[in-house]
Amino acid sequence: MDTANGELLHREEWNDHLIEIIASDGLRSLFFASRFLQSCMSVNHPERLQLSYTRYMLLGLPALESVQHILIIGIGAGSLIHYCHHHYPESVIDAVDSSPRIITLARQYFMLPEDDRIRIHCADGLAFLEEAAAGRHYDLILVDAFDHEGMAENIYSSPFFRRCSTMLADQGMLSCNLWSGDDHLLGTIRQSIAAYLDGHIFVSVPDRDNAVILAFRQPVPWDRFIRSREEWLELEARFDLDFRTMLKVARNESRSLLQRLFPVFPWS
């Protein structure tokens, strides 16, 4: 069946919520309620991040010295799993989603990678942290837990971020995708994260309603972003991300915090 936006591969009602999967120009997209694009994947290159907010979630990768253990809260179509599995071939990934149906669709339509390095968990994200993941430490925690109504309330909450803070490695990073339509809610979330983690980068994703917050146990290690042009080119090729452009956006949004360091950055 064809739709105005491409070929409709799948449509169903799950728990009174409409889920659609549409194919177009080599891409497969997961929609909630016909309006909310949740994930998008290239069939030929599933490791490439198609949506800009997912790329901004990873703009802090140059600050991480080692990534061996990764936690992903919110599987969706598995874009972040594909990316991390490809770019960190020696890492172990815990991926958590509360919807068994979403996990099944990710397997059926989005080639969800599964091997001895990827552990898929059908569980509430907060409950997973409190029970199954107790005692573990993660170098990278990615939070992208949305449904048709927006951010999952129990995930974007003070108890959740408190648990994240206890499980984040000393040199690790927490990265959260936020929906920026509610300024009061965004402020509450930022305060919750700041209560438990000292370093933060907040970025509004250009031309989207998403925002991203990156958080660290220590103050943001800005010195790790001071690199030569050749080093940036190597990193950008390795991770398939335009770090310098994204960092310019972060600089412009957080100028008061970064004005001491960013003037010496080799942007050209």
Q: How far is CA 220 from the centre of its chain?
A: 18
Q: Reading across the β-sheet that carries 27-32, which strands appear in turn?
A: 2-3, 6-14, 17-24, 27-32, 36-42
Residue 6 CB coordination number (10 Å): 15
209 an active-site residue? no
Catalytic annotation, pick one of 124, 139, 144, 147 = 144
- What are the angstrom distances between the C-alpha of 20 and each of 5, 13, 145? 12, 9, 18
3-state secondary structure of 237: helix
Alpha carbon distance 59, 248 (integer Å): 11
Burial grade of 219 (CB within 10 A; 0-12, 13-18, 19 or more): exposed
Catalytic residues: 144
